[in-house]
């Protein structure tokens, strides 16, 4: 299905996934920031937990953001796959978007703590660096892979290797093997034949690939004889014309 065939319903579902994903990342970003404003942890208190109420709406934002990410991924993959592979692959951007945004919170508080501590505050700074590595490293690898794929270099190398590994095929995926079969002079040569086989029987083998394969499978032809006879058949002038 091409972009011109995309229905309004498919496009609406895809855009809904994008909006839901963006909203979910924003809720998690703001929810974590609100918790960090009160010291990085909050609870209602108890026998072993000091009372530090969470900011209003924070639990709902955090839980809603996490479940919203799963729903967003489902919508993007479901409807994006009906548009194109590239549209569906946008879902992979959710990972770096989440970790880079949360890492920004930690780094910001590492250099600008709310209680005016001496900076940098390593308890904020180190998690921020780790979060940026988790989000930035996959994104950098994906960008490099995309650039290589767009340039066509990996595909060309892989296609050439596959084509070269199958010498009895004139072309694979539109690329001619490097070791392509060329014309050879077979005027004074004959296909191998076993003891007792007539010239007519041997020539029949060349024109009957199924019989040739059967004799090779039963052990009546050695690997060398099979390969030589097959090459003789493939390099006949009428087949290469």
Q: What is the mean pLDDT of each run of 10 residues along the chain (241 residues)?
A: 69 95 94 87 68 84 93 94 90 92 91 81 91 92 84 53 47 43 43 48 56 77 78 62 48
What is the predicted pLDDT for the residue at 182? Answer: 40
What is the predicted pLDDT for the residue at 49? Answer: 61
How far is it, in rounded angstroms, from Cα 1 to Cα 78?
14
What is the predicted pLDDT for the residue at 27? Answer: 94
What is the predicted pLDDT for the residue at 50? Answer: 60
Q: What is the pTM of this model?
A: 0.55
What is the predicted pLDDT for the residue at 212? Answer: 73
CA atoms within 13 A on the CB side of 95: 13
What is the predicted pLDDT for the residue at 167? Answer: 47
What is the predicted pLDDT for the residue at 48? Answer: 64
């Amino acid at each position: 299905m091409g972009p011109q065939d995309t229905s309004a319903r498919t496009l609406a579902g895809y855009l809904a996934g994008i909006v839901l994903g963006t909203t979910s990342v924003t809720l998690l970003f703001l929810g974590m920031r609100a918790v960090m404003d009160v010291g990085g942890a909050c609870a209602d208190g108890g026998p072993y937990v000091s009372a530090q109420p969470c900011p209003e709406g924070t639990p709902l934002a955090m839980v809603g953001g996490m479940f919203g990410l799963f729903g967003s991924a489902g919508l993007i993959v479901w409807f994006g796959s009906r548009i194109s592979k590239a549209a569906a692959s946008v879902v992979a951007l959710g990972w770096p978007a989440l970790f880079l945004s949360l890492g920004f919170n930690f780094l910001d508080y590492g250099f600008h703590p709310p209680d005016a501590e001496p900076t940098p505050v390593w308890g904020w700074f180190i998690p921020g660096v780790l979060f940026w590595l988790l989000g930035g490293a996959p994104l950098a690898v994906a960008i490099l892979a995309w650039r290589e794929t767009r340039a066509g270099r990996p595909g060309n190398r892989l296609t050439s290797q596959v084509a070269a590994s199958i010498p009895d095929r004139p072309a694979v995926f539109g690329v001619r093997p490097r070791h392509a079969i060329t014309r050879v002079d077979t005027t004074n040569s004959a296909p191998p034949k076993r003891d007792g086989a007539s010239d007519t029987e041997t020539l029949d083998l060349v024109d009957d690939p199924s019989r040739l394969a059967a004799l090779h499978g039963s052990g009546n032809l050695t690997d060398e004889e099979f390969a030589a006879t097959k090459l003789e058949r493939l390099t006949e002038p009428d087949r290469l014309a």
